[in-house]
């Protein structure tokens, strides 16, 4: 299984110009992208928000099938 751990990383700060405390939206977006591209495990600081986003993404994907 592929594990992705990008939550709040410097890369997200470089991309967004945000401080660590303001990187939650970028972290969630990165997690959704990772899972839709095959990641089986995602390390996240903002677990509730990440799970919600993944559920929404999955529902949208399934609705389009």
pLDDT at res. 36: 96
Q: Is 8 a catalytic residue?
A: no
Q: Which of the following is catalytic: 8, 43, 48, 55?
A: 43
Question: pLDDT of the chain along its 65 residues, tens only?
Answer: 999 999 999 999 999 999 999 999 999 999 999 999 999 999 999 999 999 999 999 999 999 99
**Burial class of residue 18 in the structure, from the number of CB atoms within 10 Å of its CB (0-12 exposed, 13-18 middle, 19+ buried):** middle
pLDDT at res. 56: 98
pLDDT at res. 1: 95
pLDDT at res. 19: 98
Q: Is 48 a catalytic residue?
A: no
Q: Which of the following is catalytic: 8, 9, 23, 48?
A: 9
pLDDT at res. 51: 98
């Amino acid at each position: 299984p592929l594990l992705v751990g990008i939550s709040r990383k410097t890369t997200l700060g470089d991309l967004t110009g945000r401080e660590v405390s303001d990187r939650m939206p970028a972290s969630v977006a990165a997690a959704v992208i990772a899972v839709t591209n095959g990641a089986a495990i995602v390390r996240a600081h903002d677990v509730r928000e990440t799970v919600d986003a993944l559920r929404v993404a999955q529902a949208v994907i399934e609705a389009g099938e």
